[in-house]
Every structure is written in structure tokens, then in C-alpha cells.
Amino acid sequence: EAGVAQSPRYKIIEKRQSVAFWCNPISGHATLYWYQQILGQGPKLLIQFQNNGVVDDSQLPKDRFSAERLKGVDSTLKIQPAKLEDSAVYLCASSFVAGTSTDTQYFGPGTRLTVL
Amino acid sequence: LAKTTQPISMDSYEGQEVNITCSHNNIATNDYITWYQQFPSQGPRFIIQGYKTKVTNEVASLFIPADRKSSTLSLPRVSLSDTAVYYCLVGYGQNFVFGPGTRLSVLP
């Protein structure tokens, strides 16, 4: 079974530029998550989709971050404009069912973003 | 306010049993505790999950007391390859939160 795919693996940009990350979840997984992981910290949930609808985006900085999951499959997370504090690893995960604490989440390798 | 705490780091030697505790005072009644392992440059990987008492699988055990305000991940006979960061994930009703992580270093 193929795992969660993410691209790119690394990205370096200057502040105020824009950047986009792509995620392809495990086939058949209804729920998709985007996390931000700052160095030395646990992952922080940014947004959770169930199929193509948003379940939770309460921690997404909506003035600069946006995400979409068209057709309920792959997803894109965008930052525009980037700030220095956005430097982090952006993790995508998926789970088979409803996105509760009981669901096993399968994570991709992440995209490491450096904002200069 | 939901708060999950873990020790920042632990050291152990090969062959020893390691116990890592996570504190979660405000866990929701119906929510589970899940533990993940993360190696450098990789995403977290599921280890074990439980609701109460004790759960055991082929790699770890999870102990959850009756009040469910904490949980303990137990790794039997660790090896060098168990060097990683270990996170608890706790449900707080509509939300779930990763702990800050415990960096385990296994020494030869």
C-alpha cells in the first residue's frame, strides 16, 4: 500500500513570497490533515478535511494560509505572504474514517520550509 | 484549557525497559490516547492506542490509570533503533492535541 505522498520535500523562500505544498493521501482515506511542526515541538493541527469539506480550521492563520482538497483526494496548502515564523515542517496525514482521536493517522515525510 | 505534558528527554541503555509518561488532565470522556514515534526527517508513525487500563501490542504497552489523567508508554528492551521522539496524542472533545514530545536516546 502506498503511503502519504508530499512534495516538495524542501523549500527555501524569502519572506513575503508565496509557497504551496501538495499532499496525496492514502487511497480510500476520507480524512486529510495538515500539521505545522516547528523545530523541537509537537505537530500542530492547521486544518482537517473530511472528503472535500473542512472539519476544523480553527488554528489556521487564515490571513495568510489557505488549503483546499478538491474532489476529496489530494490537497494543497498555500502560504501567501510567508513570514519568518512560518519556517517549519509541514506534515500531511490521512486516516480512513471520521477524523476523531481514535483514528490512526498515517503521515507523509513532510515539507521543510525555510523562510529567509 | 487542554494541556498535554511530557518529559523533554530521557536516556536509556540497550536492553532496558523505558517508560514515558504523558499528562492530560482534561481529556474528554470518550477520547483515546495514542502514541506516535518520529525519526528525523520522517513523519510520526503510530505505535499504540488505548482508552483505559492496559493495552499491549508487539512493540509496546500502554498503561492508563482509572482517572485517565495520564498515560505511560512502555518500551520493553529498547535497542539503538528506538532512539526517536515519542509523542502522545490526546483527544479533547472536538480537538486533539499532540504533546510536546519526549526525545529518547538509547545508548550502547
CB-based contacts of A93: which residues, under 8 Å, 6+ apart? Answer: A4, A25, A32, A33, A35, A105, A106, A107, A108, B43, B44
CB contacts under 8 A, A 25-44 vs B, are 40-44
A42 → closest Cβ in B32, B49, B100 = B100
Give per-residue pLDDT as tens, A88-98: 999 999 998 76
Name the maximum alpha-carbon separation found in chain A. Answer: 39
Q: Is B44 in Cβ contact with A105 (below 8 Å)?
A: yes
Q: Distance between CA atoms of B77 and B75, rounded to whole angstroms? A: 7
Q: Distance between CA atoms of B4 and A96, rounded to whole angstroms? A: 25
Give per-residue pLDDT as tens, B67-102: 999 999 999 999 999 999 999 999 877 778 899 999
| Number of other residues whose CB lies within 10 A of the CB of residue A43 | 28
pLDDT at A1: 64
Residues of chain A with pLDDT below 70 are 1, 98-99
Task: Say which residue the cell 523545530 belongs to.
Answer: A39
Q: Is B31 in Cβ contact with A44 (below 8 Å)?
A: no
Mean pLDDT of chain B: 93
